[in-house]
């Protein structure tokens, strides 16, 4: 473990050690293969959604614009953590530099907050589409969708910056073992050899952001459910419910695990539960997103059929 001696006869940490990962002979290789397959599926599935929603004109709607943005973000969101986790599972050196750790924290949380904002925009889009359908085309314009996405990115990438900049100024000495599968605020701050009470302010800001998104999405879908139940057509109710059910599933997976992890305030969990919750929003939620948005989505399945159908016809013409 790389450390540098200071004048106070203490050790200044220059890299962190992930202490949660098993060695190869302890099952590390099995976890590596499983996680590699999951990561491959996440990247391939989201890339497929991104390409199909871009190529198929029938999917050039605000809802699929946000799904395309979400898929793009999801690829990068998982890439900030999973490749490093894979490396730690097969490498004897389960370490990360201070700079690498801070960058991982920054991009992971920035992309996570951006995703939360995009999910909020999707909930508002569904609310307008179902509760105010006559004015929907005039309200949810392509320009508004771009502005909402840009605002989500600005919010995500600026909100975390002060906290990361502050953590970057802290001295780390003594233990350098992170009891988590990636660099996160609480495990890293617990290793700082100085007062970190200022983090309470940062936690409050994150809590307000999470709760605001949660509240907007919850109220939107409650109103949507009320309107759907009042629809006279059973077919209309079924179509509206199927669309919203997919969004609700993603919302509950993502926000549920995030809320349990980051709205704990003074509550503490065991290392096992901390890791299990982290696995849920780092790996499992991104794994289910492509399934929810493609395999269980009729419009997406039809678009996939049209894409491959077109390729077959094109191939037939060439022959």
Residue 133 lies in a domain: yes
pLDDT of residue 305: 81
Quote the tokens at residue 42. Answer: 């996440």
Q: How many domains does the chain have?
A: 1
- The whole domain housing 259 covers 15-300
pLDDT of residue 146: 96
- Find out whether 18 and 95 touch, Cβ atoms under 8 Å: yes
Write out the DSSP string of 28-52: HHHHHHHHHHHHHHHHHHHHHHHHH
CATH number of the domain that residue 21 is part of? 1.20.1070.10
Residue 137 lies in a domain: yes
Residue 2 lies in a domain: no
Residue 6 lies in a domain: no
Residues shown for the chain: 319
pLDDT of residue 82: 96
Q: How far apart are CA 200 and CA 64, in angstroms?
A: 38
- Going residue by residue through the chain (319 aa), what tens digit of pLDDT does each one get? 444 444 444 567 889 999 888 877 777 889 999 999 999 999 999 999 999 999 988 889 999 999 999 999 999 999 999 999 999 999 888 999 999 999 999 999 999 999 999 999 998 998 998 888 899 999 999 999 999 999 999 999 998 998 899 898 999 987 899 989 999 988 898 898 888 777 777 778 878 888 888 899 889 888 888 888 888 877 777 777 777 777 777 788 888 888 878 876 666 777 788 888 888 889 988 998 888 877 667 788 888 888 777 544 444 444 3
* pTM for this predicted structure: 0.86
Q: Which residues 6+ apart lie within 8 Å of 191 measured at CB? A: 13, 16, 172, 174, 175, 176, 177, 178
Quote the tokens at residue 12. Answer: 């200044």
Residue 317 lies in a domain: no
pLDDT of residue 237: 77
Residue 211 lies in a domain: yes
pLDDT of residue 314: 44
pLDDT of residue 6: 44
| Sign of the torsion formed by the C-alpha atoms of 265, 268, 273 and 276 | positive
| Sign of the torsion formed by the C-alpha atoms of 223, 225, 229 and 231 | positive
pLDDT of residue 319: 37
pLDDT of residue 14: 85
Residue 110 lies in a domain: yes
Residue 10 lies in a domain: no
Q: How far apart are CA 246 and CA 290, in angstroms?
A: 11
Q: How far apart are CA 52 and CA 54, in angstroms?
A: 5
Quote the tokens at residue 287. Answer: 């794994």
pLDDT of residue 266: 61
């Amino acid at each position: 473990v790389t450390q540098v001696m200071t004048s106070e006869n203490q050790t200044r940490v220059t890299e962190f050690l992930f202490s949660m990962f098993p060695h190869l002979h302890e099952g590390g290789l099995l976890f590596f293969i499983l996680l590699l397959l999951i990561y491959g599926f996440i990247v391939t599935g989201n890339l497929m959604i991104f390409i199909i929603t871009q190529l198929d004109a029938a999917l050039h709607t605000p809802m699929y614009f946000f799904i395309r943005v979400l898929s793009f973000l999801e690829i990068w969101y998982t890439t900030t953590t999973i490749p490093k986790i894979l490396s730690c599972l097969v490498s004897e050196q389960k370490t990360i530099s201070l700079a690498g750790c801070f960058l991982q924290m920054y991009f992971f949380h920035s992309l996570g907050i951006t995703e939360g904002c995009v999910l909020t925009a999707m909930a508002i889009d569904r609310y307008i589409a179902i509760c105010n359908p006559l004015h929907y085309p005039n309200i949810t314009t392509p320009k508004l969708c771009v502005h909402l996405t840009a605002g989500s990115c600005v919010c995500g990438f600026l909100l975390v910056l002060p906290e990361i900049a502050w953590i970057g100024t802290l001295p780390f000495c003594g233990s350098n073992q992170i009891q988590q599968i990636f660099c996160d605020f609480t495990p890293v701050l617990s290793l700082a050899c100085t007062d970190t009470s200022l983090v309470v302010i940062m936690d409050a800001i994150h809590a307000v952001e999470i709760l605001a998104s949660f509240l907007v999405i919850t109220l939107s879908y409650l109103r949507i459910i009320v309107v759907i139940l009042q629809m006279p057509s059973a077919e209309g109710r079924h179509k509206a419910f199927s669309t919203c059910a997919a969004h609700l599933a993603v919302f509950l997976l993502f926000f549920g695990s995030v809320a349990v992890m980051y709205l704990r305030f003074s509550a503490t969990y065991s290392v096992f539960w901390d890791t299990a919750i982290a696995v849920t929003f780092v790996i499992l939620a991104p794994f289910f997103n492509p399934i929810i948005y493609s395999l269980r989505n009729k419009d997406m399945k039809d678009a996939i059929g049209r894409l491959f159908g077109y390729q077959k016809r094109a191939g037939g013409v060439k022959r």
